[in-house]
Structure 1
């Protein structure tokens, strides 16, 4: 159960052939929408700290559990999770609320969807704020093929694609342990252990660092994945090469006002070419790891609101 003292009750919205579980704040701020897009393996609840402040600042805050997550639809076909479907859901969500465009905020995989919104539905995107994952243009080689060549078969992106179902079953059987070990902060730098990282996290008794969130908050994520399993969310990864083909003829430069927020301790490297492919980008770095808006909620909210005010 969601902690209702911290989080609003959901509504269920039929869009683009699926039903999305949607959480809102600031509904009185009609015509000033901001859409927050979670990452993997997360939940709309990951934005719990930002929603009240954004609503107080005058925004209609719209936070979906995207397809494959929470109580939103979990289609069975892998291809139902490609980037056309994921961005199509968000465009249809704007239609539902009667909005031509919105500010989009994304973290991790949600950031990838937001960058892709600007490529596939540019008229629907007013401004972009992304956390953790910088925009990466499409290269000459499909993404999974490239990762396999450089990072090997145990890289979790590659493993999800080349050994379908294997990781899903292990994560499903160890949801609480996996999420407890994954959602960590202040993790000391160390060489990667042999094997597939996500499977290791699901099977190890102890993980380095400190918990990002309380047991009560983590229970929201655990309950959601214990209900539906991890396959729907992992299917996002299984479309990376399909997405590479979908984006083949798309103009790759993003010409929207954008804010990129990095965690200084994140394993995801900063982009050295971001300003070339997103000419309107501003960059902020916070002293945290990957789970930026949950590790440093007040600092993240301030960075977002300060940038929006400056716009």
Structure 2
């Protein structure tokens, strides 16, 4: 447990003998530092000091009650403070899903603290003319989970909390057959579904780590990240949107998240790789993910 930025973060680390070569792994939703278990030993062997926080709202890390305590300034501030704690000027940052969003924005807000970027699943998000939730509501409607989390605070949280084990069991799936979207809110439907689609991403004992963490913490802290999207849009108004650092973007070919064709316009030094998997890239195809990351880092 490390005190940073007015919160306590639960931080896992390995390879302290490699001090001076830090790499920070940032999980997504609804995840945990444990989602990087396949990458940690490989990165240690490659000479890295691997630092893996449960970010605020997750695991045993602090869960502030104010929604605005989960905005992008706080989330990136936690990572900056973590570098300060270890005495590092900068580090390589790796993010998956929401963690990727935080890493992209960390690189915009604190470019001097990031030497390389590796992001999985979620590409750079262009800041358009209108706040993100407002835009999504118009395109996807009020049941879209980003919108629902914002417009009906507390509703989804309670249902996910009640059905934590079933929700996570249904969420962490691969090879899910394509199907038209059901009516209603997707995350709530998942939490209530008796029969999951596809195949499990991980073994029961691995899934149990996620389940026990969310049964203890609840989902509100992690969902509060979504409740700051429009606030983040305003906070990023005057920030230079171009990322100059070398970057690696890894997509899952079967992921629901679309690729961003204009990525090189915002991240000119990016290399793009696609793996034949769904959203949970580093857990679905751990060996292939490790090979791609190590090869790129060696370059």
How do 1:141-220 and structure 2 match up within 5 A? 141-220=130-209
1:28-81 per-position Cα deviation (integer Å, ceiling 9, x unaligned): 001000000000000000000000000000000000000000000000000000
Distance in 2, matches of 1:175 and 1:302, equals 33
Alpha-carbon deviation of 1:228? Answer: 1.1
1:90-130 per-position Cα deviation (integer Å, ceiling 9, x unaligned): 00000000000000000000000000011100000000000
1:117-152 per-position Cα deviation (integer Å, ceiling 9, x unaligned): 111000000000000000022110000000000000
Q: Which of 209, 233, 238 lines up with 2:222 in the alignment?
A: 233
Question: Partner residue of 1:7?
Answer: none
Distance in 2, matches of 1:272 and 1:112, equals 17
Does structure 1 residue 303 correspond to structure 2 residue 292? yes
Distance in 1, matches of 2:126 and 2:234, equals 13
Alpha-carbon deviation of 1:172? Answer: 0.1
Question: Partner residue of 1:224?
Answer: 213
Distance in 2, matches of 1:287 and 1:235, equals 31
Does structure 1 residue 256 correspond to structure 2 residue 239? no
How do 1:7-86 and structure 2 match up within 5 A? 12-86=1-75
SS in 1 for 2:138: helix
Distance in 2, matches of 1:107 and 1:279, equals 20
TM-score, normalised by the number of residues in structure 2: 1.00
SS in 1 for 2:28: coil
SS in 2 for 1:35: strand
Alpha-carbon deviation of 1:192? Answer: 0.7
Alpha-carbon deviation of 1:270? Answer: 0.5
SS in 2 for 1:28: helix
Q: Which of 107, 112, 115 lines up with 2:96 in the alignment?
A: 107
1:233-261 per-position Cα deviation (integer Å, ceiling 9, x unaligned): 00000000000000000000111100000
CA RMSD of aligned residues (A): 0.4
Alpha-carbon deviation of 1:207? Answer: 1.5
Query: What is the number of residues matched between the two proteins?
Result: 299
Does structure 1 residue 98 correspond to structure 2 residue 87? yes
SS in 2 for 1:126: strand
Distance in 1, matches of 2:103 and 2:280, equals 17
Distance in 1, matches of 2:107 and 2:198, equals 35
Distance in 2, matches of 1:25 and 1:261, equals 24
Distance in 1, matches of 2:193 and 2:265, equals 41
Distance in 1, matches of 2:234 and 2:54, equals 26
Question: Partner residue of 2:113?
Answer: 124
Distance in 2, matches of 1:260 and 1:228, equals 31
Moved over 6 A (4+): none
SS in 2 for 1:271: coil
Distance in 2, matches of 1:19 and 1:136, equals 28
